[in-house]
Structure 1
Amino acid sequence: MACSKNMALDGTARTFAWVKVSVRKIDLIELKKPERRPPWMSQAHYEQAPESLTVRELKAGGKTLVTTLHCPKQTPKTALKSLYKGRWHVELDLRNLKAMLGLGKLSCKTPGMAVKELWVYLLAHNLIRMLMAQSALLADCLPRELSFKHSIQLWLALRQYGSPEEEDGLSNLLTLIAQRRVGNRPGRIEPRAIKRRPQAYPLLTQSRRSARAEVRKNGHAKHVK
């Protein structure tokens, strides 16, 4: 709420109190700050939140959207609908960070080092995106049309078998990145679920040395279905 950037999001869930006002066939909603801090919000964020926020409500593509972009001439319904459909790219970017780069599990133990580790992953992500942008510029296409995973594989191969500092090596890399295009699937929706079943092993809740000693003494635990 304290951010000054514009936004467009699904309006099915409302946490703050709201008052709906229609102005020139435009539905504006005034979100008022609650008198008491919600349990999920920290005191610092509660103090930074504005006393009220006016948003615009509209129907688009069977969804109720709310946005801070009030003017329908500058941002018509079709533009907001297209913007909302593009949220799938956010899902893909998070997947690339967690699955492709390994951000799904941090290795640092202290909060300060965990923040530094997070920034390192974001830096690596931006460097790969920079290569994709340069490749898209040479191939006259959009960076979103190129494969992030394919770009990582080519970069690692160049680091292992070639020299990224050489001009020919970098030029060939950008050419190869543009050869793999991703499918154009507008309106794609996927369930947030995994198909592969996890292995039926219990969690290691003690030190490995203690667990080994227990196995030597009592043997492995029986498999529980």
Structure 2
Amino acid sequence: MRNIKTTLGMEVLSCKTPDMVRKEIWVYLLAYNLIRLLMVRAALLGDLLPRQLSFKYTLQLYIAWRKPNHENDDERLGKLLILIAHKQVGNRQGRIEPRAVKRRPKPYPLLTKTRKMAQEEIRKNGHAKKLK
């Protein structure tokens, strides 16, 4: 799940209510399954295992592919599947992963004081600048 969150950009959910958060999570899972389905179809086309294909590469190709084009959709889909099957990942068994947390940089600073103190400071001085 952690990998899905990072790859699909759902580290921070934008909805406010619990019901909408559930819906947002379901939409992300639907998108994840769509990408996996493309990988399965491409793997069948290329006589490969879906595990041999790159999820991130498939996602990037799909995002570029879905832009409007005047070609026949079936023809475009075939080309997309060929491109997906073309990029294979290596055999990664026996990998050693560090036991450390790698946090993605965020555009805002960490909250290092109580929320109430931070709110009072914002009322007095305005919001801090975004980090780059």
TM-score, normalising length from structure 2? 0.76
Q: Is the 8 A contact 1:158 1:164 kept in 2?
A: no
Equivalent AA in structure 2 for residue 203 of structure 1 = L
**In structure 2, C-alpha distance between the alignment counterparts of 1:116 and 1:108, rounded to whole Å:** 9
Which residue is 1:215 aligned to?
A: 125
**CA RMSD across the alignment:** 3.1
Shift of 1:129: 0.4
Which residue is 2:21 aligned to?
A: 114
Q: Given the superposition, is the C-alpha separation of residues 151 and 199 from structure 1 closer, same or farther in structure 2, using an over 3 Å criterion?
A: closer
**In structure 2, C-alpha distance between the alignment counterparts of 1:188 and 1:164, rounded to whole Å:** 42
| Structure 1 counterpart SS, 2:66 | helix
Which residue is 2:64 aligned to?
A: 157
Question: What's the % identity of the aligned pairs?
Answer: 46
**In structure 2, C-alpha distance between the alignment counterparts of 1:108 and 1:195, rounded to whole Å:** 22
**1:66-77 matched pairs, under 5 angstroms:** none
* Larger RCO: 1 or 2 (CA < 8 Å, sep 6+): 2
Shift of 1:101: 0.8
Equivalent AA in structure 1 for residue 69 of structure 2 = G
What are the ranges of 5 or more consecutive residues in structure 1 without an aligned counterpart? Answer: 1-92, 221-225
**In structure 2, C-alpha distance between the alignment counterparts of 1:119 and 1:164, rounded to whole Å:** 31
The structure 2 residue matched to 1:193, chosen from 73, 97, 101, is 101
The count of aligned residue pairs is 122
TM-score, normalising length from structure 1? 0.47
The structure 1 residue matched to 2:85, chosen from 169, 172, 178, is 178
Deviations 1:33-84 (A, max 9, x none): xxxxxxxxxxxxxxxxxxxxxxxxxxxxxxxxxxxxxxxxxxxxxxxxxxxx
Q: Which structure dedicates a bigger proportion of its chain to helix?
A: 2
Shift of 1:199: 8.9
**1:46-85 matched pairs, under 5 angstroms:** none
**In structure 1, C-alpha distance between the alignment counterparts of 2:62 and 2:48, rounded to whole Å:** 20
| Structure 2 counterpart SS, 1:140 | coil
**In structure 1, C-alpha distance between the alignment counterparts of 2:55 and 2:62, rounded to whole Å:** 11
Q: Given the superposition, is the C-alpha separation of residues 167 and 114 from structure 1 closer, same or farther in structure 2, using an over 3 Å criterion?
A: same
Deviations 1:173-195 (A, max 9, x none): 00000111111111213124228
Q: Given the superposition, is the C-alpha separation of residues 215 and 118 from structure 1 closer, same or farther in structure 2, using an over 3 Å criterion?
A: same
Q: Given the superposition, is the C-alpha separation of residues 163 and 99 from structure 1 closer, same or farther in structure 2, using an over 3 Å criterion?
A: farther
Larger radius of gyration: 1
**In structure 1, C-alpha distance between the alignment counterparts of 2:77 and 2:107, rounded to whole Å:** 42
What are the ranges of 5 or more consecutive residues in structure 2 without an aligned counterpart? Answer: none
Q: Which structure dedicates a bigger proportion of its chain to strand?
A: 1
Equivalent AA in structure 1 for residue 67 of structure 2 = Q
Equivalent AA in structure 1 for residue 109 of structure 2 = Y
